[in-house]
């Protein structure tokens, strides 16, 4: 016989089932809420990551544009890199400070105040400590007013600086400068910020290398120019000296030739005027055979001596006969027709005929040119 549950028992079972159902519902609600929260957090993280990636891509794009647009002047490129660093790291000011002849000099400046002093003694400046310590680590100094730099670095109090981040710049195996960004509020740089500072500092180091190479090249070029100018001046002086020497040599050679010619003409003239005429007179006198023989030898030897001179003289007076050459030479010496006739023991008419033939053969017959003046022009 089946026993049916009472109403109370059924009601009790229903309550137990309802409680179990509520518990299951509550557990399900909790799980849903937890998953929803996790998904919301994951979504926010994803949004943040996407935003960070876009920011990173934007920064990389800015850096790439800066690098691509580098000009020929390394110092101008350094200034661009300094400005890029300040913009990407959102500072109030960015500097590239460089040791130069014992002073700390700002070679790269971005957003500096009008009264900023770009050249100062290095001691006490934060950048100087960065350079001295060197290394690849980024130096971060927060709460600047509470550090000793508030006393040693004049820029801290003057411009109410709170945070400094900087990295040493190296080239030629030495740390020579510091790239820094400063803030008037508390700032904690991210790893990406540090990486950007590192990349730009390295790029400045490359420009430093290029600047030094260009300076060395310019120095070498200037030295070469100086040597070329000095050598050119030296060659110019030597050329002038050689030209002067050459001119002097030409003058001496010309003078020697003229002296030689004068001597030859003098010898020829003396023999023709003083010796040969007398020999002719002697030949016409009464001589024995021995005397005639000796006189013939003497005349032959004299003619042999003066024959080269006679040839040179005849070359001046082409187509002239020997008699005409003798007359032309005497005319050149300023002798009159009468004097020449007496000297050569010829008639005046014969000398005049010779003179006429000389003018004809030299092309002076129909020209009003003095014969002696013309003959003097012949060398």
CA distance linking residue 189 with residue 178, whole number of Å: 17
Q: Which two tokens stand for residue 32?
A: 């849903």
CA distance linking residue 163 with residue 140, whole number of Å: 7
Please report the pLDDT score of residue 92 as a whole number: 97
Local structure of residue 346 (DSSP, 8 states): -
Give the pLDDT band (50/70/90) at residue 365: confident
State pTM to two decimals: 0.53
Q: Which of 178, 193, 78, 200 is nearest to 126 (CA)?
A: 178
Q: Which of 197, 178, 211 is nearest to 106 (CA)?
A: 178
pLDDT at 313 over 60: no
pLDDT at 311 over 70: no
Please give the residue that has the higher pLDDT: either 159 or 364. Answer: 159
CA distance linking residue 13 with residue 186, whole number of Å: 66
Question: What SS3 state is found at 165?
Answer: strand
Please report the pLDDT score of residue 53 as a whole number: 72
pLDDT in tens, 208-219: 988 888 888 889
pLDDT at 324 over 90: no
Please give the residue that has the higher pLDDT: either 308 or 145. Answer: 145
Q: Are 317 and 325 in contact (CB under 8 A)?
A: yes
Please report the pLDDT score of residue 37 as a whole number: 76
pLDDT at 1 over 60: no
Q: Are 200 and 179 in contact (CB under 8 A)?
A: yes
Please report the pLDDT score of residue 106 as a whole number: 95
Local structure of residue 2 (DSSP, 8 states): P
**Helices and strands in the chain: count of H runs, count of E runs:** 12, 6
φ/ψ of 212, rounded to 5, equals: -65, -40
Range with the lowest mean pLDDT among 36-45, 68-77, 285-294?
A: 36-45
Range with the lowest mean pLDDT among 297-301, 354-358, 359-363?
A: 297-301
pLDDT in tens, 234-285: 888 888 888 888 888 888 888 888 877 777 777 767 776 667 777 777 777 7
Quote the distance between the C-alpha of residue 197 and its chain's center: 36
């Amino acid at each position: 016989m089946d026993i049916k549950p009472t109403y109370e028992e059924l009601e009790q079972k229903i309550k137990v089932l309802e409680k179990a159902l509520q518990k299951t519902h509550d557990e399900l609600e909790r799980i849903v809420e937890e998953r929803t929260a996790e998904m919301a957090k994951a979504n926010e993280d994803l949004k943040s990551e996407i935003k960070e990636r876009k920011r990173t891509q934007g920064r990389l794009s800015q850096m790439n544009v800066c690098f691509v647009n580098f000009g020929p002047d390394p110092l101008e490129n350094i200034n661009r890199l300094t400005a890029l660093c300040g913009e990407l790291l959102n500072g109030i000011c960015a500097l590239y400070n460089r040791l130069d002849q014992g002073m700390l000099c700002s070679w790269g400046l971005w957003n500096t105040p009008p009264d900023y002093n770009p050249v100062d003694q290095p001691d006490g400046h934060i950048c100087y400590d960065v350079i001295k310590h060197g290394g690849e680590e980024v130096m971060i100094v927060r709460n600047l007013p509470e550090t000793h730099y508030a006393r040693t670095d004049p820029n801290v109090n003057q411009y109410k600086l709170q945070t400094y981040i900087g990295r040493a710049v190296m080239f030629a195996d030495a740390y020579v400068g510091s790239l820094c960004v400063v803030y008037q509020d508390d700032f904690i740089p991210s790893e990406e910020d540090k990486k950007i500072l590192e990349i730009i500092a390295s790029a400045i180091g490359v420009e430093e290398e290029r600047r030094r190479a260009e300076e060395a090249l310019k120095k070498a070029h200037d030295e070469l120019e100086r040597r070329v100018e000095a050598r050119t001046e030296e060659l110019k002086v030597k050329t002038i000296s050689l030209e002067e020497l050459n001119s002097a040599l030409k003058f001496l050679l010309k003078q020697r030739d003229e002296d030689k010619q004068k001597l030859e003409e003098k010898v020829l003239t003396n023999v023709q005027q003083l010796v040969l005429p007398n020999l002719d007179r002697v030949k016409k006198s009464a001589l024995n055979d021995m005397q005639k023989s000796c006189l013939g030898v003497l005349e032959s030897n004299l003619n042999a001596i003066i024959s080269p001179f006679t040839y040179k003289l005849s070359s001046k007076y082409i187509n002239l006969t020997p008699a005409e050459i003798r007359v032309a030479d005497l005319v050149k010496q300023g002798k009159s027709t009468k004097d020449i006739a007496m000297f050569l023991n010829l008639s005046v008419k014969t000398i005049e005929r010779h003179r006429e033939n000389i003018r004809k053969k030299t092309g002076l017959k129909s020209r009003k040119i003095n014969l002696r003046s013309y003959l003097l022009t012949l060398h």
